[in-house]
Amino acid sequence: MVNFTAIYVMWLREMKRYVRAKSRIVGSLIIPLLFLVFLGVGLNNMIGGVGGVEYTNFLVPGIIGMSMIFTSMFAGISVLWDRQFGFLKEIMVAPVGRISIVLGRIFGSSTTAIIQGILVLLLAIIMGFISIGIFQFLLSIVFMLFIAMTFIGFGLILASKMRDMQGFGLIMNIIIFPLFFLSGALFPLENLPSWLIAISYIDPLTYGVDGLRGAMLGISSLPILTNLIILIGFSVFTVILGSYLFEKSDAV
């Protein structure tokens, strides 16, 4: 049975943790900023444009995708942190269903990831890297939502099977960076060998970045609706599997 009060409490806890962690907010904005300034401006002067737009415009959706995937995977670290300090055990014995606890975490982490993505987008707009309208902005948020849910679910899958925070960080980096580079965030997928292109279509972030690029710039390898449907499928799969494994996992 879903307990909406428990969902709200878990969501509110995630939001308070995010707001209070000023260093986390600032730190997660610095890396995207460095990519935009040094990589974007530097390569823009070298290669000019990609797909009919300037490289700085082309890069913005990819950097937002990068920011989203890192922020979303923090959901897994949060589970390990709570397990290590005993909080997970306390909420697991509370008289509410575990599915409510999972949903609260997912909604809270999704909200913080979307906020992070919006902050990066606003930063790019303020600095003149990209210019979009209201409809493009809202459509971009839709893609941010499903990118967040996909990788939050993925983070829960990993966290449910692991106990060591350091090991989780290492595995997370091993997984995240190939997903990022294969997503077409930094360069068009058409420039890759055919076998790498085939692998890139297994990457959920590929559809997120391509969808963001289509929403913001009107250029994409696949139709926007196709990207959205596939991304929703990935998010449903990872969230359901992550929730199932979380419910079956031990609190200690």
Orientation of helix 98-126 relative to helix 134-161, angle to 10°:
140
pLDDT at site 138: 94
Taking the model in full, what pTM does it have?
A: 0.88
For 240, phi then psi, to 5°, come to -65, -45
- Residue 228: the pLDDT is 95
* Residue-level pLDDT at 48: 63
Residue 218: band (very low, low, confident or very high) from pLDDT cuts 50, 70, 90: confident
SS3 content of the chain, % helix, strand, coil (to 5): 80, 0, 20
Binned at pLDDT 50, 70 and 90, residue 225 comes out as very high
Tokens of 212: 């963001």
Measured from the Cβ of residue 139, the count of other Cβ atoms closer than 10 Å reads 19
Q: What angle do CA 97, 74, 214 make, to 5 degrees?
A: 105
Distance CA 200, CA 222 (A): 13
Q: Among positive and negative, which fits the CA dihedral 226, 137, 172, 15?
A: negative
Mean pLDDT within 162-184: 81
If you average pLDDT over every residue of the chain, what do you get?
Answer: 83
- The one-character DSSP state at 186 is S
**Tens-digit pLDDT profile for residues 19-64:** 887 777 787 788 888 888 877 777 766 666 676 788 888 889 999 9
Q: What is the pLDDT of residue 87?
A: 65
- Estimate to the nearest angstrom the gap between the alpha carbon of 32 and the chain centroid: 13
* Host domain of residue 167: 4-248
Kindly indicate the confidence band of residue 211, based on its pLDDT and cuts at 50, 70 and 90: very high
Q: Which of 195, 191, 252 is nearest to 47 (CA)?
A: 191
Residue 252: pLDDT over 60: no
Give me the pLDDT at residue 95, please.
67
Of residues 108 and 246, more confidently modeled:
108
- What pLDDT is stored for residue 41 in this prediction? 73
User: Mean pLDDT across the stretch 113-134?
Assistant: 89
Residue 251 has pLDDT above 60, yes or no: no
What total of structural domains would you count in the chain? 1
Please answer whether residues 144 and 68 qualify as being in contact, where contact means their C-beta atoms are separated by less than 8 angstroms: yes
Asked whether the beta carbons of 124 and 130 are under 8 A apart, the reply is yes
Structure confidence at residue 158 (pLDDT): 83
The residue ranking higher by pLDDT, 49 or 115, is 115
Identity at 124, one-letter amino acid code = A
pLDDT, tens digit (0-9, with 9 covering 90-100), for 27-36: 778 888 888 8
Taking only the tens place, the pLDDT of each residue in 2-20 is: 777 878 888 888 888 888 8
Sign of the dihedral through C-alpha 35, 37, 42, 48: positive
Give residue 233's pLDDT: 95
Number of Cβ within 10 Å of residue 77's Cβ equals 16
Q: Are 208 and 147 in contact (CB under 8 A)?
A: yes
224 — pLDDT class (breaks 50, 70, 90): very high
